[in-house]
Amino acid sequence: MQINGIIFDKDGTLFGYSKTWDTWSLKIIEKLSKGELRLARELAKAIGFDLENGKLLPQSIVIAGTSGEVALQLGRLLPTWQLDALEQFLNQQVIELPLYEVIPLKEYFELLRKNRLKVGVMTNDSEENARLHLGQVKVNPHCDLDFLAGYDTGYGAKPSAGPLLAFAQVTHIEPSKIVMVGDSLHDLIAGRRAGIKTIGVLTGPANKIDLVDHADIVLPDISHIPKFLEQFRF
C-alpha cells in the first residue's frame, strides 16, 4: 500500500480539545444567558455541556458539529436571535481562546512534506477560525499546507465524504492513497465514505473503544504517525 497524502482534523487532533472547547462552551453560555441561571442550564443541556463541572459531555454536538448546527440547537431557546447572527456570534467567540498544540505543528508539517506527503486540514469549524488557529502557532496555510477547508468552504462538513474527496482532487491523489486522521467518529466515518484509510487519535474526547471499529489503527496522538507510515513506500 502506498500513502501519498494525509488530511487532519483540527480540534482534538492537532490541538488539545477540552481546554479550548470547554472554555468556549462556558463562555457562550454565560454571554447568551446574561446571568439567567435557568436559561444557562437550558443552553448547556441543548449543547451537551456539564455546567457544574465545566466540561462537554461525550455526546455533545460541539465535539463534531458545525457552528451552524450548534446555533440551531441554541436558537430554539433564544427567540430574539436570528440564526445567521447567532452562528456569527459563535464563530467570533473563538478569538482569544487558549490553544494547545499536541506537538509543534509547523515542524511536524515540514517533516511530513519532506517525506513527500501532501498535507491538508479539514475541520467542522469555520475556515476563518482554522486559519486563525493555525496562524497563532505559526502555520501558514498557503505555505505549510496543500489544502485547508472548514464546514463553510464549500465542500460540505464531516461526516460527508465531500471535503476529503476535494482534498484528493486538489492534490491529484487517488483516495486509496490518502489517510484521514481524527479524534471523532465524524472524522473516521467521513474517511470510510471517501474510500481512504483512517487513523484515530486519542487527544480528543473519544476513547479507543469509541474509535477502533471505524479506524484502520488508533494511535495515542499524531506524533506516532510518521513512524507508523515508515512501513509504506512514498
Tens of pLDDT, residue by residue over 95-115, are 878 899 999 999 999 999 999
Q: Residues spanned by CATH 3.40.50.1000 within the chain?
A: 5-16+100-229
CB 102 within 8 A of CB 15: yes
Phi, psi of 111 (to 5 degrees): -60, -45
C-alpha cell at 20: 479550548
| Per-residue confidence (pLDDT) for residue 232, from 0 to 100 | 65
| Per-residue confidence (pLDDT) for residue 95, from 0 to 100 | 81
Q: What is the pLDDT of residues 111-161, one digit of tens each?
A: 999 999 999 999 999 999 999 999 999 999 999 999 999 999 999 999 999
Q: Which CATH architecture has domain 5-16+100-229?
A: 3-Layer(aba) Sandwich (3.40)
Q: How confident is the model at residue 75 (pLDDT cuts 50, 70, 90)?
A: very high
What are the DSSP E strand ranges found in the chain? 5-8, 49-50, 55-56, 118-122, 147-149, 178-182, 197-201, 217-219
Rounded CA-CA distance 57/222 in Å is 23
pTM above 0.75, yes or no: yes
| Per-residue confidence (pLDDT) for residue 87, from 0 to 100 | 96
DSSP line for 94-128: TTT----BSS-HHHHHHHHHHTT-EEEEE-SS-HH
Mean pLDDT of 34-61: 95
Q: Which residue type occupies 99?
A: L
